[in-house]
Structure 1
Amino acid sequence: MYDLIASPQQRTYLIARPGVRRAVQLPAARYEELAAVAAADGLVPGWAADAAHRAWGLDLAGRPLNGAVLVRPRTRLNYSRATWEVNKGCNFNCEHCYLAQRRFEGLPWKDKVRLIDMMCEAGVLWLQFTGGEPTIDRDFLRAYAYAAERGMLLEILTNGSRLHRDDVLGALTAMKPHKVTVSLYGASEQSADSLTRTPGSFRLVMKGLKAAREAGVPVEIAIIVTTHNAHEVDQMRAIAADYADRFSQYASISPTYDGQPDPLAVQAPEHQRRTAVFDGCPAGHTFFHVDPFGLATMCKIGRENPIDLMETGVAGLLGLPAVADAQMLRAGGCTGCTFAKKCRVCRPVAKAMQAAKAPLQSYCRHGEGT
């Protein structure tokens, strides 16, 4: 594995270290120098060795560049991030899940490899594995290893139930992820297991968090506040403080991405906070989402007009910005809205909320009485 990754990122260039948050921005000339040295199979330049020592304590002086630093090429598409729904299947049955269906199915291994290659070719540096529960996919471990070898910084969005497994921990310690984000659904078996509708889920999550902490895996916790656990928010924060590098709290529950209202039943309105005015999103332009069958969309919610990457190849992503722009237009139930420039949600989320007949106060300025 590489110690560092040098990569174009939109209009800049970065050197990053897998498993570490800190990155170093490069001038274009320095990136070009690294690319030339890599092509000539030369040694790590002195300035790069100095920068690596200052930023990460690495000693790269006198080492061959190839093998120590992966220099990723410029790409035609220049995407930065992607989320990959490896498999919609899950070992939990959460009441608030935004997925319309949770079928355990997806691409065969050879097509997963092809998809990872396409994401690299598109320029993706940060890749999030998600689901369903990604760690239960039969190909997760080798997909994770292959993506790391291709030079991507990896995040796993997980329920944490399998983090204690030797094979999973082995992969995460041998190839450190950028981060592992664990969803926390309660501070007790009663609250968590009732939300996940899976007996024993809380015990598995806590077992996974303890194992990850002991192994030194970088963990963030996403505290999911619902009617099942709203009385335990302080206790969930305490767990997060003990087991994670940082945590976030979420109380805005979405309908399923196709507008089914069922998840909204567990929303705890008293814990919702007003979000900032939505002033745009680069979805479809600098990042994209891919489902278990290689269908690319602007994001997890805006899934209209998907692009079949298995059919089009990476060139299909050239059409994604136009698809995203069309979905972001305020139309349908938002046509003529006097609060259009002060809306707090994007158009795909608003559309799903409207389809689910969600209460206006949960997503719309009209419901705030302002």
Structure 2
Amino acid sequence: MHDLIASPFLNSFVVLRPGRLEGIELPERRFRELERARDAATNLPFWLVAAARARWGTELALRSATEAVLVRDAPRYGHSRASWEINLGCDLDCEHCYLGEKRFAGLDEEGKRRLLLILRDAGIVWLQITGGEALIDPHFSASCRLAHELGMMIEVLTNGTRLPNPAVLEALAASRPYRVTVSLYGATVETYDSFTRRRGTFKRVMRGLAAGIEAGLPLQLALIVTAQNAHEHDRMRAMADELGLPYKEYTHMSPTIYGGAESLASQSPAHLKPLGRFEGCNAGHTFLHVDPHGKASICKVGRDEQIDLMAEGVQGLARLGGIADRLMLRTGGCSGCQLSGNCSVCRPLAKRYQEAKAPLNTYCQHGQKGNAA
């Protein structure tokens, strides 16, 4: 199994170590040298041995390039990052969830294998595996292992309930992600179990976090703050600090992917943070999203036009950039808006809010005091 990944990345070349965020940027001539070393099965160049030792403390002296480094070929298209809903099923029932009705359905194991090969051919280096709940998928371990073997840097999003499972820990240790992000929904048994509508959730998650820390997994917490758990906001922060884990906070809930408003009612108005100006993104151009059936879209929000990768293969992604450009155009009530240059949400997300008939003040400047039409 490879220790390092060398790959074209956007307009540059990088060397990465699975399970670590730090990378090394290469000039093209160094990358070509690695390609030649791979093809000739010679030892690693001295400069890479020294760089790996300095960057990661990894000793690769006298290792062959073929054995130590997976050198990835140039992609056919310009995509480098992807998120993948391995399924939509979940063992919890949180009211804030943007997935709405979470039905467990999707590709079989062979279909998942084909999809990952397509993503490899598309140039995906950074792969986020999510759900639903990713760790309850029966093919998670095999999929994680294959993604690792194909030279992808893996992030896993999870609710943490399955982290105490020895088989899950073994899979994560064998195909080490660079980050495992665990959502946190409260600081007490009563709040947590009420939030998730499942008894015993809090204890399972606490066991999972302890097991993940003991296993040395690169854990990060996502503190989800809603009206239901806002009274424990400070205690959630304190819990993260006590565990010694980094965290990010999320207070804005999105409409469901079907344009439903039910998730919006869970927001805590007192905890909503001002949104910054939306200045564009690379969705559809260098980033893509794939649902459980292998259908690609520009992101988790912009699903209005999808490409069936299982039917079209990697060639279908040639259309994704054009789809992204169309979805970003202002339409409907946003056409001709004089405030659009300072919007805080992208056009696809604004459309979801409009479909959900959300109050303007949740997503649009026209709903803010002083900007009313």
Query: Are 1:37 and 2:41 matched, yes or no?
Result: no
Deviations 1:266-324 (A, max 9, x none): 10011111121001010000010001110000001110110000100010011001111
For the Cα contact (< 8 Å) 2:155–2:177, is it kept in 1?
Answer: yes
TM-score by length of 1: 0.98
Report the equivalent of 1:7.
7
Q: Is the counterpart of residue 211 in structure 1 residue 222 in structure 2?
A: no
Q: Residue 149 and residue 249 in structure 1: after superposition, are their counterparts in 2 closer, same or farther (change >3 A)?
A: same
Distance 1:2 1:133 in 2: 28
Matched residue type, 1:311: A
In structure 2, the partner of 1:89 is 89
Write the letter of the residue equivalent to 1:164. P
CA distance in 2, matches of 1:7, 1:207: 37
Q: Secondary structure at the match of 2:35?
A: helix
Q: Tell me how far apart the structure 2 counterparts of residues 28 and 58 of structure 1 sit (CA, whole Å).
A: 23
Partner of 2:315: 315
Q: Distance in 2 between matches of 1:59 and 1:180?
A: 26
3-state DSSP of counterpart to 2:242: helix
Q: Give the gaps of 5 or more residues in structure 2.
A: none
Alignment partners' CA distance in 2, 1:165 and 1:59: 32
Tell me whether 1:343 sits opposite 2:343 in the alignment.
yes
Aligned position for 1:225: 225
Cα 1:210/1:243, change in 2 over 3 Å? same
Instruction: Give the residue type in structure 1 aligned to 2:306.
Output: P
SS across alignment from 1:60: coil
Q: How far, CA to CA, are the matches of 2:266 and 2:32 in structure 1?
A: 53
Please name the residue that 1:120 is paired with: 120
Q: Structure 1: which 5+ runs fail to align?
A: none
State the shift of 1:244 in Å: 5.3
- Residues 90-105 of structure 1 mapped to structure 2, 5 A cutoff: 90-105=90-105
> What SS does the corresponding residue of 1:67 show, helix, strand or coil?
helix
SS at match of 2:333: helix
Post-superposition offset of 1:241: 2.0
Assess if the C-alpha contact under 8 Å between 1:185 and 1:223 holds in 2: yes
Pair 1:298 & 2:301 matched? no
Give the TM-score, by structure 2 length.
0.97
* Residues 176-228 of structure 1 deviation map (CA, whole Å, 9 limit, x = unaligned): 11100000011112222222111111111111111001110001100000011
Cα RMSD between the aligned structures?
A: 1.0
Partner of 1:24: 24
Using the TM superposition, give the Cα deviation of residue 359 of structure 1 relative to its aligned residue in structure 2, in angstroms: 1.7
In structure 1, what is the equivalent of residue 268 of structure 2?
Answer: 268
SS in 1 for 2:67: coil
- Aligned to 1:296, what secondary structure does the other structure show? strand
Deviates more, 1:281-290 or 1:99-108: 99-108
Q: 1:227-260 CA deviation, whole Å, 9 max, x = no partner?
A: 1110111111112223354110000001101210
Amino acid of the residue matched to residue 312 of structure 1?
Answer: E
Query: Structure 1 CA distance, aligned partners of 2:105 and 2:74?
Result: 33
Mapped contact 2:8–2:74 kept (Cα < 8 A): yes
Whether the aligned pair in 2 keeps the contact of 1:181 and 1:221 (CA below 8 Å) is: yes
Structure 1 position 338, deviation (Å)? 1.6
* Maintained 8 Å contact 1:221/1:244: no
Contact 1:192–1:228 (CA<8 Å) still a contact in 2? no
